[in-house]
Chains A and B, each alone.
Chain A
Amino acid sequence: MAYGSTAKILRVNLSTGALEVETLSEDFYRLYPGGKALAGYILLNELPAHTEPFAPENVLVIANGLLTGAPVSTATRYVVSARSPLTGGYGESEAGGFWGPELKMAGFEAIVVKGRAPQPVYLWIQDGVTEIRPAAHLWGRTTAEAQETIRAELGDEKIRVLQIGIGGENLVRYAGLTNDLRHFNGRTGMGAVMGSKNLRAIAVRGSLRYQSLAHDPETLLALGRKLSKAVRDNPLSWDLQVRGTPGLVEPLNTAGILPTRNFRQGAFEGVDELKWEAYEKQLLTARRSCYACAVRCKREVAVNGQPSPYGGPEYETLGAFGPNCGISDLQAIAKANELCNAYMLDSISAGATIAFAMECFEHGLIGLEDTGGLDLRFGNAEAMLAMLEKIARREGFGNLLAEGSKRAAEKIGGEAKFFTIQVKGQELAMHEPRGKYNVGMGYAISEIGADHLVVAHDPAFANPEAIQFKSAAALGITVAQPSRLLNAEKMKHFYILEKWGSMEKTTGYCFFGPAPRSFIHPDDVLLSINAATGWNMTMDDLLQIGERGTNLARIFNLRQGFSRQDDTLPERIFQGLENGPLQGLGLPRDDFEQALTILYALKGWNAETGVPTRERLESLALGWAAEMLPVDTQK
């Protein structure tokens, strides 16, 4: 019976060249319906604990969500997962675009890559037929050059290319992947894992249609049409279409929560050069979409007057290379965005690691002799761009910064450890937790290290009459709470929103689709999944899918030796901001620790160790995973 899935996984062993197709059962897929949950299941079962991230034995999983490719706006995403070379724990990063839907059209839900090719290769998948092809001629090329070459040699301009760049080739620990040059799996260094396998790209082309896989294609199509029209009738999705994420710069600065100069400050004096009006005037050339998505939040830009093949900088990139490096030169930031995408580095970790180095430089912990003569002070855009080139190529001081700020701080020594703004080794995204406490909790507890897409952000839940809050009632969030507060009710918000976010990462929905962040009411999310699958699920079932995914990743990290002590925040976040409306205010450490204990209890995790109880795992149909916990944690 059709349930929205091709039920096929492609298994690739690059050491032997073996290609195999595995067929999943519907019962299995119902528990692990793609994306995060499927990746977590495969990694826990097939990747031995403590496997070195760059060893051939590391397992790279690329998995669509069950809805990926459906004719429903924002259902476009796939995850890339492996043991992370940046954190040493569970690695994961999602992206939209066109590649995930094309993989589904080519007949596969997921690709599992093991081993290491003796020479650089790429995969070519067309309607279920797979080939490993040589890629030595792509090695060292920009992502734009590589994509053009692949399409030309395969003779089809519509081929979708997922690839790494020279960042991944050179094992930069925060190298990512890109598809169509504009959609990025940025976080946790998945591109470096792919590079360690000598796998430069995966090109796909398919002719299936999602509707042929759906249980109730008519209902799904009708819902998709309704949602396409709804985009411009909802203020949140309207704003995403008009401005996209670059629209966040000015409101966050006004609130005093725009990370500035390595998170020392919350307001940036150069913000006028970076706000949406400047972006629209100086950079914007067009708006673009992901597959079948009416939101159209992607920007096309010209950089220094030249049309860019890489898409425009998102808010995170503007923040990381802009205020967080003390830089207000919009063209330089757009250039940094181009470099990150041409070489495929995570722009968040790249910008944040350079900001870390700038603070070290200003404190005299490193000097011109270390940086190869670059005056790496806050605000020096030229030095920032030059250092980015060095990082991608691992040249000079760039070789150290390619390790990420945590490892660089250990090497530099002294106070440098106070300047590394990261959790579990991954740098904070450009959202200031001292103004949004549940974002801080997300940074602390996330299995992938600090990330901003763990839960919808606190300000949405501060006013009971605001549209975002009202749309969350369907999830069980009914009591409004201030952004700068940690209490039992806030932890209830967090627990629900984390499950909802994990469900999105499992089913293929984008953060910019479902409410409360955007315009698709939770009831319509549920309708879309039931129309695709015919499973008659409830909202609780959806939340349980999300909770299953977070617990799989949690167990992965516990096996690697992570514990409650790793669920914390950089020391700076407990100190006061230096300027802006929140000047002098830090996140209260005692409140944070108490809230973490409350959250563990809600999640069914041991208060001291953070280990899931067997009872909770069994309630999630994860009793088998309890056996994978380290023996000394099985209480």
Chain B
Amino acid sequence: MKLYAGGHLDFYLPNRRSRVEIELKAPTRLSEVLAGLGLPLAEVHLTVVNGQMVDLQAAIVFGQDEVKLYPAVNGG
């Protein structure tokens, strides 16, 4: 799966890189994948899988799925 962590979410990923590829051996709950990466689920405000906005808790990902995550962004 290809993961893009938008906004400040890349802070939590290895080497603070915003794009990560993860090999999944079976369909997996996205929340479990993120927990494994150490990305706090509370910081994820929007979840987009293959271009569709989805519920993070319900999302299951696999193979070449493209996942984009965005935090709650403030102003400025």
A interface residues, Cβ below 8 angstroms from B: 235-236, 238-240, 245, 247-248, 250-252, 254-255, 314-315, 429, 431, 439, 452-453, 456-457, 459-460, 462-468, 511-512, 516-517, 581
Determine if B34 is an interface residue (Cβ-Cβ < 8 Å).
Answer: no
Determine if B33 is an interface residue (Cβ-Cβ < 8 Å).
Answer: no
Q: A431-B75, A453-B76, A467-B43 are in contact. Are A255 and B70 (CB under 8 A)?
A: yes
Are B74 and A462 interface neighbours, CB within 8 A? no
Can you list 30 A-B pairs, Cβ within 8 angstroms, ordered by A? Answer: A236-B8, A236-B74, A247-B6, A248-B73, A250-B70, A251-B6, A251-B46, A251-B73, A254-B46, A254-B53, A254-B68, A254-B70, A255-B70, A315-B76, A429-B75, A431-B75, A452-B75, A452-B76, A453-B76, A456-B74, A457-B75, A459-B45, A459-B72, A459-B73, A459-B74, A460-B74, A462-B72, A466-B43, A517-B74, A517-B75
**How many B residues face the partner with a CB closer than 8 A?**
22
CB of A67, distance to nearest CB on chain B (Å):
19
Q: A254-B70, A255-B46, A465-B40 are in contact. Are A511 and B75 (CB under 8 A)?
A: yes
Q: Which residues of chain B have C-beta atoms less than 8 A from A255's C-beta?
A: 45-46, 70, 73
Residue-wise, chain B 32-76 has the 8 Å CB interface mask toward A (1 for contact) of 000000001011011010000100000000000000101111111
CB of B72, distance to nearest CB on chain A (Å):
3
Q: Which residues of chain B have C-beta atoms less than 8 A from A236's C-beta?
A: 8, 74
- Given the complex of chains A and B, what is the CA–CA distance between A464 and B40 in angstroms? 13
**Nearest residue in B to A314 (C-beta to C-beta)?**
B76
Q: A254-B46, A466-B42, A466-B43 are in contact. Are A457 and B8 (CB under 8 A)?
A: no
Q: Which residues of chain A have C-beta atoms less than 8 A from B7's C-beta?
A: 239, 247, 251
- Given the complex of chains A and B, what is the CA–CA distance between A268 and B16 in angstroms? 28
Q: Which residues of chain B have C-beta atoms less than 8 A from A511's C-beta?
A: 75-76
Q: Given contact pairs A254-B6, A453-B75, enumerate 17 new A-B contacts (beta carbons under 8 Å).
A: A235-B9, A235-B12, A235-B71, A251-B6, A251-B7, A251-B45, A251-B46, A254-B48, A254-B53, A255-B45, A255-B73, A459-B45, A459-B72, A460-B74, A463-B72, A467-B43, A516-B74
Are A465 and B42 interface neighbours, CB within 8 A? yes
- Given the complex of chains A and B, what is the CA–CA distance between A168 and B1 in angstroms? 53
Q: Which residues of chain A have C-beta atoms less than 8 A from B45's C-beta?
A: 251, 255, 459, 462-463
CB of B31, distance to nearest CB on chain A (Å):
13
- Given the complex of chains A and B, what is the CA–CA distance between A315 and B40 in angstroms? 26
Q: Which residues of chain B have C-beta atoms less than 8 A from A516's C-beta?
A: 74
Are A517 and B46 interface neighbours, CB within 8 A? no
CB of B44, distance to nearest CB on chain A (Å):
9
**Nearest residue in A to B16 (C-beta to C-beta)?**
A238
Q: Which residues of chain B have C-beta atoms less than 8 A from A314's C-beta?
A: 76
Are B48 and A238 interface neighbours, CB within 8 A? no
Q: A250-B6, A251-B7 are in contact. Are A466 and B72 (CB under 8 A)?
A: yes
Contact with B53, one of A248, A439, A466, A581 (Cβ below 8 angstroms): A581
